[in-house]
Amino acid sequence: MEVITRFPPSPTGYLHIGGARTALFSWLYARKHGGRFVLRIEDTDRERSSQESVQAILDGMGWLGLDYDDGPYFQTQRMNRYREVIDQLLHAGQAYHCYCTREELDVLREAQRARGDKPRYDGRCRQRTQPRDEILPVVRFKNPRDGNVVIDDLVKGRIIISNSELDDLIIARSDGTPTYNLTVVVDDMDMGITHVIRGDDHINNTPRQINILEALCAERPRYAHVPMILGADGKRLSKRHGAVGVMQYRDDGYLPQAVLNYLVRLGWSHGDQEIFTRQEMFDLFDISDVQRGSAVFNPEKLLWLNYEYIKAAKAADLRDHARWHFENAGINIDEQANWKEVILVNQQRSKTLLELVDRSLFFFRDIDGYDAKSVKKHFKGQAGEVLVELRAQLGPLDPWTAENIHRRLHQLAERRSIGLGKIAQPLRIAVAGVAVSPPIDETLAILGKEAVMGRIDAAVNYINTLP
């Protein structure tokens, strides 16, 4: 049997970290089993759905590389089909019109709550034979009154819910449009979904959906309810916990593979392994190994993973991922002759692409001033003299290599009987503008002699203006 999984977001916002994880699990499960992954847009809530959100979700999935084999389907385009199924249930006597008003239902619910009961519809319209004038009816599914629904959930294990806990849910609104629990069932059935992998907030819906499925004589899929992702405060992850939109991580300089890796390890593990290639995810992931309890989202670990991926990346890949970040900083990375050296020397010290760009900037363009604190600390004492002498030493240097530069720096330190820091730091500020850069010899080598000479001159001039 071919495995078919699906991801059914409703387009009411961007792709959320939590949604991305269930999408990832569904996608992995399909890929692992050589099956298909279906994307279905649940846009029946016209009020809150938008085309921008559809695009945002597509963008998020695209960035993460979660490719789908089928779809995207749109529920709004399947209205006739839902109508057909509703009519079928009606004709078979498995659904009925309900003329209760919202007010009546409110009263019922209130009374039930007051009694300490779970609010649920009492089925009073099941027997009704005459329509009520002036009232457009909804359609309710005739849920079985006795027995249990048994779910053998792939992550939670066996779950048993008594039908007496359920009620006759609305499957069509008074305007005729279908509701969620109906559309999901029809879609999953029509699309041949074999494995429903979704958040465990849907567990309560599952028995209802199974009952509808059975009324339709459809085969039921396997279910896997994965736990929610929580914020640091233990509450369901939401906007107030910070960045929860997948694309925000792209903007913040994260690599998609790092985000994917973080997400797959959240609630799932394979022994002590932390880093998983895409192929390893396919090979090793198993939905039944997913943790039963919810997991807290930990941005620090994601950052660490991002760093690991940046360190291990090929320079050219880093350049491609960072290209638009460089553009945002006003740099066209493709025009930089020394782009590769710059990336190589900075990638091991950058936790994000943003940091990589930031650390690379002074290699690609002139510095626009000196960091005040650094100046105060290092542009003092003999700094000016040292730079002048250094310039004289480096001027004739040939070839201009890190090794040669290194040698000259040490010779100078020895001659003046000062620590290397007394030379490296002023020099670093002279060429980088700040007291932070890769090793000074490599920095100079990559920068090139001409730029270094110019920046030392500028620094010397600047120091001379100091009081």
Q: What residues between 58 and 87 interact with RNA by CB under 7 A? A: 75
Rounded-to-integer distance, Cα 180 and Cα 171, Å: 8
Rounded-to-integer distance, Cα 364 and Cα 449, Å: 14
- The residue among 25 and 339 lying less far from RNA, judged by its C-beta, is 25
Asked whether 424 and 387 are in contact (CB, 8 A), the reply is no
DSSP assignment of 103-142 equals HHHHHHHHHHHHTTPPP----TTTT--SPPTT-PPEEEE-
Tokens of 265: 């390890």
Partner residues linked to 37 by β-bridges: 5
> Residue 209: how many CA atoms within 13 Å on its side-chain side?
23
**Of 126-134, 276-284, 326-334, 423-431, which part binds RNA (CB under 7 A)?**
423-431
The one-letter amino acid code at 16 reads: H
Strand-pair category, 157-162 with 170-172: unpaired
Site string for RNA, 85-104 (x = CB under 7 A): ----------------xx--
By CB under 7 A, the residues from 214 to 273 that bind RNA are 227-228, 230, 234-236, 265-269, 271-272
- The residue among 324 and 416 lying less far from RNA, judged by its C-beta, is 416
> Is 425 near RNA (CB under 7 A)?
yes
Asked whether 139 and 96 are in contact (CB, 8 A), the reply is yes
The one-letter amino acid code at 210 reads: I
Asked whether 247 and 52 are in contact (CB, 8 A), the reply is no
Rounded-to-integer distance, Cα 342 and Cα 172, Å: 61
Query: Which of 167, 164, 162, 168 shows the shortest CA–CA distance to 141?
Result: 168
- The residue among 101 and 332 lying less far from RNA, judged by its C-beta, is 101
- The residue among 92 and 436 lying less far from RNA, judged by its C-beta, is 436
Asked whether 204 and 272 are in contact (CB, 8 A), the reply is no
> Is 441 near RNA (CB under 7 A)?
yes
- The residue among 65 and 439 lying less far from RNA, judged by its C-beta, is 439
Tokens of 79: 């209205």
**Of 52-60, 63-71, 189-197, 299-307, which part binds RNA (CB under 7 A)?**
299-307
Among 1, 160, 217, 337, binds RNA (CB under 7 A): 160
> Is 403 near RNA (CB under 7 A)?
no
- The residue among 75 and 257 lying less far from RNA, judged by its C-beta, is 75
**Of 20-28, 172-180, 393-401, 447-455, which part binds RNA (CB under 7 A)?**
172-180
Tokens of 409: 């720096």
**Of 17-25, 251-259, 279-287, 439-447, which part binds RNA (CB under 7 A)?**
439-447
Tokens of 445: 């080598």
- The residue among 62 and 439 lying less far from RNA, judged by its C-beta, is 439
- The residue among 204 and 461 lying less far from RNA, judged by its C-beta, is 204
The least CB distance from residue 82 to RNA, in Å, is: 11
Query: In what helix (H) or strand (E) does residue 398 lie, and over which residues does it extend?
Result: none
* Residue that has been written with the tokens 């959100």 in this structure: 53
The least CB distance from residue 465 to RNA, in Å, is: 24
> Is 411 near RNA (CB under 7 A)?
no
Query: Which of 144, 106, 105, 148 shows the shortest CA–CA distance to 124?
Result: 105
The least CB distance from residue 310 to RNA, in Å, is: 10
Number of residues lying near RNA (CB under 7 A)? 81
Residue 160, Cα to own-chain centre: how many angstroms?
Answer: 33
The least CB distance from residue 28 to RNA, in Å, is: 15
Among 5, 181, 336, 360, binds RNA (CB under 7 A): 181
3-state secondary structure of 270: strand
By CB under 7 A, the residues from 19 to 58 that bind RNA are 42, 44-45, 48
By CB under 7 A, the residues from 194 to 213 that bind RNA are 200-205
* Residue that has been written with the tokens 């779910």 in this structure: 151
Rounded-to-integer distance, Cα 12 and Cα 270, Å: 34
- The residue among 35 and 404 lying less far from RNA, judged by its C-beta, is 404
> Is 122 near RNA (CB under 7 A)?
no
By CB under 7 A, the residues from 269 to 298 that bind RNA are 269, 271-272, 274, 289, 291-296, 298
- The residue among 237 and 246 lying less far from RNA, judged by its C-beta, is 237
